[in-house]
């Protein structure tokens, strides 16, 4: 099973790009962020025609998340991150797909920093850490996939020099991410590629894509129930090189679900 996360930066503009990627890579589950569209504008029919059932939560102009599943309906678990009823950003979806709990998140960017937007980012992160703790120990296999807007370490960016004041690299931001990992979550891409630079985002400025000046900010975290299934992890970088591409490329994991529960209940000999 291939599960991916892709910040599309506008679902309407990016639909041809998205369909091309889905057709070529055939992910079983795709978590999308930055739909930048109202619910009524979501292209569910076109995606259905491409073989995908969708669950989505849109918003005018900004944010917006969706979970796509190939050939099956994703079963909605929740549509918002608990902890703040006044938070009206569309940044969170949680669904069951094929026996796995799939979390799709779009963590706030937080720029400029310091300021109210950075405060909102940290507050959202705290709520997420709290909710993730419950998910981790739920007994279900869980993957939390999305645009975390966190560059975990200086190894996850081409050069931190011009980004030192950016919200994505702040010590508070990184500390939150580390606290999340400390619950036991596996950062799948870094786990399988500990010694090589991996990027998922290249901004539109200064020919950063052409020079491979990227950042790793899209992550897939697995809990202990799902981690034994991890086979591969990577980034479909070719998507970033297409015409009218998003500034993000899809990041993904491949899982062997036959290994589910293998660790939890060793079979007794007859």
Partner DNA sequence: ATGGCATATCCTATATGA
Binding site for DNA (CB under 7 A): 7, 9-14, 34, 36-38, 60-62, 108-109, 111-112, 117, 147, 149, 162, 166, 168, 201, 203-206, 215, 217, 244, 247
- Three-state SS for the chain is CEEEEEECCCHHHHHHHHHHHHHHHCCCEEEEECCCCCHHHCCHHHHHHCCEEEEEECCCCCCCEEEEEECCCCEEEECCCCCCCCCCCCCEEEEEECCEEEEEEECCCCCCCCCHHHHHHHHHHHHHHHHHHHHHCCCCCEEEEEECCCCCCHHHECCHHHHCCCHHHCHHHHHHHHHHHHCCCEEHHHHHCCCCCCCCECCCCCCCCCCCCCECCEEEEECCCCHHHEEEEEECHHHHHCCCCCCECCEEEEECHHHCCCCCCCCCCC
**Catalytic residue of the set 28, 52, 92, 106:** 106
Tokens of 232: 């591969």
Cβ at position 9, least distance to DNA in Å = 5
Residue number, 69 or 217, with CB nearest to DNA: 217
Q: How many CB atoms lie within 10 A of CB 248?
A: 26
**Catalytic residue of the set 147, 187, 218, 247:** 147
Distance (Å, rounded) from C-alpha 237 to C-alpha 248? 9
Cβ at position 139, least distance to DNA in Å = 33
**158 catalytic residue (yes or no):** no
Distance (Å, rounded) from C-alpha 66 to C-alpha 12? 13
Residue number, 106 or 252, with CB nearest to DNA: 106
Residue number, 13 or 183, with CB nearest to DNA: 13
Residue number, 215 or 230, with CB nearest to DNA: 215
**120 catalytic residue (yes or no):** no
Distance (Å, rounded) from C-alpha 240 to C-alpha 246? 6
Cβ at position 230, least distance to DNA in Å = 26
Cβ at position 267, least distance to DNA in Å = 46
Cβ at position 137, least distance to DNA in Å = 29
Cβ at position 224, least distance to DNA in Å = 29
Residue number, 120 or 133, with CB nearest to DNA: 120
Residue number, 182 or 244, with CB nearest to DNA: 244
Determine the angle formed by the axes of helices 116-136 and 171-182, rounding to 10 degrees: 10
Active site residues: 106, 147
């Amino acid at each position: 099973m291939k599960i991916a996360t892709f910040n599309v930066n506008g679902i309407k503009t990016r639909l041809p790009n998205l369909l091309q990627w889905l057709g070529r890579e055939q992910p079983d589950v795709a978590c999308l962020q930055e739909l930048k569209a109202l619910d009524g504008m979501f292209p569910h029919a076109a995606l259905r025609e491409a073989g995908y059932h969708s669950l989505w939560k849109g918003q005018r102009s900004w944010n917006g998340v969706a979970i796509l599943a190939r050939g099956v309906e994703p079963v909605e678990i929740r549509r918002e991150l608990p902890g703040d009823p006044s938070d009206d950003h569309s940044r969170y979806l949680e669904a069951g797909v094929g026996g796995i709990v799939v979390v799709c998140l779009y963590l706030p960017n937080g720029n400029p920093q310091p300021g109210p937007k950075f405060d909102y980012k940290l507050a959202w992160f705290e709520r997420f850490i709290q909710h993730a703790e419950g998910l981790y120990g739920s007994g279900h296999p869980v993957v939390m996939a999305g645009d975390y807007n966190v560059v975990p370490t200086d190894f996850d960016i081409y050069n931190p020099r011009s980004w030192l004041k950016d919200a994505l690299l702040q010590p508070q931001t990184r500390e939150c991410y580390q606290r999340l990992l400390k619950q036991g979550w596996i950062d799948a891409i870094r786990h399988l590629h500990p010694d090589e630079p991996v990027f998922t985002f290249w901004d539109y400025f200064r020919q950063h894509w052409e020079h491979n000046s990227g950042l790793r900010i899209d992550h897939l975290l697995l809990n202990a129930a799902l981690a034994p299934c991890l086979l591969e992890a990577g980034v479909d970088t070719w998507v970033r090189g297409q015409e009218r591409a998003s500034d993000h490329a899809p990041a993904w994991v491949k899982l062997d679900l036959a290994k589910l529960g293998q660790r939890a209940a060793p079979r007794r000999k007859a």
